[in-house]
Amino acid sequence: MSNSRPRPRRGAGSGARAAGRDELVSRSLQSAEHCMRAQDFGTAYAHYLLVLSLAPELKDDVKETFQYTLFRWAEELDALSRTQDLLGCYEQALELLPDDEVICNSMGEHLFRMGFRDEAAGYFHKAVKLNPDFSDAKENFYRVANWLVERWHFIMLNDTKRNTIYNAAIQKAVCLGSKSVLDIGAGTGILRVSLVVTETVDAGLFGEGIVESLIHAWEHLLLQPKTKGENGNCEKYGKVIPASALIFGMAVECAEIRRHHRVGIKDIAGICLPTNVKFQSPTYSSVDTEETVEPYTTEKMSRIPGGYLALTECFEIMTVDFNNIQELKSLATRKPDKIGVPVIKEGILDAIVVWFVLQLDDEHSLCTSPSEESCWEQAVYPVHDLADYWIKPGDHVMMEVSCQDCYLRIQSISVFSSEHEMDVGQSSTKNKDLLSLGNEADLCSALANLQTSKPDAVEQTCVLESTEIALLNNIPYHEAFKMAMRKVLSSLTPEKLCQAVDAHCQDSEMSCGSGQNDSEQSASEPFYVLDVSEGFSVLPIIAGTLGQVKPYSSVEKDQHRITLDLISEANHFPKETLEFWLRHVEDESAVLQRPKSDKLWSIIILDVIEPSGLIQQEIMEKAAISRCLLQSGGKIFPQYVLMFGLLVESQTLVEENAVQGTARTLGLNIAPFINQFQVPIRAFLDLSSLPCIPLSKPVELLRLDLMTPYLNTSNREVKVHICKSGQVTAIPFWYHMHLDDEIRLDTSSEVSHWKQAAVVLDNPIQVEMGEELVLHVQHHKSNVSITVKH
């Protein structure tokens, strides 16, 4: 029997549904546009989601508007700390538009700001794959790749000597019967072997946790070690490569270390630094504090700008046996060892430089000393808190050495003078006794006990990054800003008032900053100066010496604000003179806005160049906002920046940027995997000491004009004349920062707190003297790329 019920016609039903869908899409689009005009981005975003899910064919028509809506809604969610909602919105958007490189890049930026660097790298990498010409995504990927895979991985993998010696020691141990497989800290994977092998050592030996790791390995993973004199099959006993280490040190004079770790001046462009303010670099730490701080920095001493002078012979600090669990356990608990080292040359005591010999077995060893050509840097312990840093033959440098917190610590550095005078550094332990030097034991003890206690004056300790200390020591920087600010303020001041300002400036320079007591100026409106430099800056206080000025600082840390207040007070500034601008704004993103008095800024100081040698992100956007906030005649500092570069041949930069083939890694094909994280830009360079051969003279590559943006060009071709034949492997670059047409700062200067950077070419280019090479320089937002045109 046939089914007599009529069947609905497909066309009619689907047509009705399509009409309904089209109506809903049309209404949703209208609602989205209405919400956009009302700046209700959350609701607009929801409407666009519905449109894209119902009508994916419209994605090309609404993509840009949808992106804008998503980004504005994400900003609101971020400001409200609604992290999960923010990430959820991006995930929804990427489900509908999985191949949208702009949304991928923006998602990565949010993740990076939240500290999820691994996840951010994935989104940046995807954005670059979707659009290889997307400069924002490329720049973001390069920056995050620098975080994820530090450049020393490439340097270490290219160190053939290190790889060969480790390989030889491993093969020897395996041949003697070691069959168990354990590699602690595999890292990039070059050491996969049938033995307990580790290279979890840093420049200070213990900083990567080798002691803790090996204690755990001996307790839970290894067979018992072979005792001395015992014979038998090695397979039955536990063994570690490296077997032991011997740590050495040397006292040095080094101006480069000094200027990055000690504030060596008392006057900065007329501003006195008070004695009750004590600046410290992060390397200075006390064992009495609960916080574990890495007590050293690292330097490649053979390449440090200006070189160094050895003030003592190298001396032995300690030995450690990695095959002795009792010795490993005792390292963190034993009392500090006291060491005294005779001085062999006179000079300024700036640091103790430390390196080690890693004894892999009784036949193979690696040395990380400054005189060795290796991938290793040395650990540097800057000297602090001496009344006099000048030492001479006959003196002894005294120190205490320990392994607290499983870091190698060198503390309580002091000098025993040949004239029987003691210069004692601030001790971070309760015991102030010094090392007994032969028959002088009683004298040392007596002198130690004669130390006078410190005065009761309250000291403000201000911890600054090494680049911030180098900036404080940069006298030309502060003098240049003072001169440039004075010129701008003078141009804005009536003639009579200008004379008063000049007289005041001369007085303040003679008295190291005498404040603002000029009665003639008090009747006028102040000039507003905003400093939005990154980190610690005394420029607002310098601005305050230049007349009736209301300076604003954008420092964030409380200790920095307290320090600036103390400096102001010491220079007789009224308390209300210096303001901290972030207290006046709701969040940091609004830092560039008008003062509450509705007065416009006379001067805005921007940080254009990072200490790494790269252009600050979003600096041109900040400059655009700043121009709108200036009074007539007001200026942004710097007003413009010129970027310079030259062509060089540098095998060092090549090896620091990527793993070179398989020969250096003993036939293991590691390069394709780790080189995914190579970046074309190498930052934090010291061009003055970089091993390289210049193949051209410096040329101007780019102009970034913050005051007159129409002078900027987004694309430029630069012809470079070749003055020496060779292979171009890199293009180092630096900047001239023009505060005005006459006053400029050079970021490659020997007193600069900035480092330099370089573009490293994927493939070297052979050039002959007399030829010309054309560079294509692209500038988009704050990102600059340099390519060689063939």
The full length of the chain comes to 790
Is the Cβ–Cβ distance between 346 and 390 less than 8 Å? yes
Q: 13-67, pLDDT tens digit by residue?
A: 566 777 778 888 889 899 999 998 899 999 999 999 998 888 888 888 888 999 9
Tell which residue, 252, 246, 438, 481, has the closest CA to residue 350. Answer: 252
**Which pLDDT score is estimated for 503?**
46
Which stretches of the chain drop beneath a pLDDT of 50?
1-11, 189-191, 193-194, 287, 421-456, 495-501, 503-505, 507-523
Residue 549 to residue 530: CA distance in whole angstroms: 10
% of the chain exceeding 70 in pLDDT: 83
Q: Which two tokens stand for residue 551?
A: 């300076």
Residue 17 to residue 54: CA distance in whole angstroms: 12
Sorted by sequence, the CB contacts under 8 Å of residue 456 that are 6+ apart come out as none
Residue 630 to residue 586: CA distance in whole angstroms: 21
**Which pLDDT score is estimated for 230?**
62
**Which pLDDT score is estimated for 426?**
40
The mean pLDDT of the chain is: 83
**Which pLDDT score is estimated for 453?**
41
Q: In Å, what is the CA distance from 249 to each residue of 110, 317, 382?
A: 44, 6, 13
Using CB atoms within 10 A of its CB, is residue 342 exposed (0-12), middle (13-18) or buried (19+)?
middle
**Which pLDDT score is estimated for 428?**
35
**Which pLDDT score is estimated for 603?**
96
Residue 377 to residue 301: CA distance in whole angstroms: 7
Residue 468 to residue 461: CA distance in whole angstroms: 15
DSSP-based three-state secondary structure for 737: strand
**Which pLDDT score is estimated for 587?**
58
Tokens 């030995």 belong to 319
**Which pLDDT score is estimated for 441?**
44
221: Cα separation from own chain's centroid = 38
Residue 398 to residue 415: CA distance in whole angstroms: 6
Residue 219 to residue 39: CA distance in whole angstroms: 63
Preceding peptide of 282 cis, ω within 30° = no
Tokens 């069947």 belong to 7
Supply the pTM of this predicted model.
0.80
DSSP-based three-state secondary structure for 492: coil
Tell which residue, 307, 394, 389, 395, has the closest CA to residue 348. Answer: 389
- β-pair type (699-705, 772-780): unpaired
What phi and psi, each to the nearest 5 degrees, are found at residue 731? -130, 90
Preceding peptide of 638 cis, ω within 30° = yes
Type of residue found at 724 = K
**Which pLDDT score is estimated for 513?**
41
